[in-house]
Amino acid sequence: MSSPDGEQPLRERVEQALGAVLDPCSVFNGTRFNLVELGMVQRITAADDGRVTVRLLLDDPICLYVAEIHARVRDAVLAVSGVAEADIEFSGDEIWTMDRASEPVRATMLERREQLRQRALMRRRSAADAATPASAPLAGAGRAHTAPR
């Protein structure tokens, strides 16, 4: 739906608004990606009467943040001029996978994963080094050895 004054179509404005909604998991892990660039928005439909439906993908069917995501998306959609009603749905037959994310997001996610992997390896090495006793001198080391007579 386009407005008479030449404004962007409603669907596009809703998508733009969703670009400001950050994925709570990415906020937690420090990457701060929005739902659009992650590819979590499966579909947006906008009717002429201002009813908007947003269908989202989750990466886990029992996502702990589903209520928070629902509330943030609904608030963002309802804040868009021309939206009269917002229905937020979650796909039950498809889950989000990294291949849905934009190329820059995938690259950042892979880089972050590698950083975390390296950090974990360093911690394991440090823990292993701490658990290994320092080289103790062997029994009898340093004493002159004489052959029995």
Element (H, E) at 24: helix 24-29
Q: Is residue 93 part of a domain?
A: yes
Q: Is residue 112 part of a domain?
A: yes
Rg (CA), the chain: 28
**Residue 95 and residue 56: Cα distance in Å, rounded?**
9
Range of the domain at 101: 10-121
Q: Is residue 149 part of a domain?
A: no
**Residue 73 and residue 8: Cα distance in Å, rounded?**
19
Q: Is residue 72 part of a domain?
A: yes
Q: Is residue 146 part of a domain?
A: no
- Looking at the structure of the chain, the number of domains it has is 1
**Residue 82 and residue 10: Cα distance in Å, rounded?**
7
At residue 1, the pLDDT reads 47
Q: Is residue 92 part of a domain?
A: yes
pLDDT by residue for the chain (149 residues), tens only, comes to 445 556 799 999 999 999 999 999 999 988 999 999 999 999 999 999 999 999 999 988 888 999 999 999 999 999 999 999 999 999 988 999 999 999 999 999 999 889 989 999 999 888 888 877 765 555 555 555 555 55
Q: Is residue 126 part of a domain?
A: no
- Nearby residues of 10 by Cβ (< 8 Å), 6 or more positions away: 1, 2, 3, 46, 50, 52, 80, 82, 83
DSSP label at 137? P
At residue 2, the pLDDT reads 46
Concatenating the DSSP letter of every residue in 99-130 gives GGS-HHHHHHHHHHHHHHHHHHHHHHHHHHHH
Q: How far apart are the first and last CA of the chain?
A: 107
Q: The domain spanning residue 99 has which CATH number? A: 3.30.300.130
At residue 85, the pLDDT reads 97
At residue 73, the pLDDT reads 98
Q: Is residue 85 part of a domain?
A: yes
- Sort 40 into a burial class: Cβ within 10 Å, 0-12 / 13-18 / 19+: buried
- Listed residue (14, 56, 16) closest to 39, CA to CA: 56
Supply the pTM of this predicted model.
Answer: 0.75
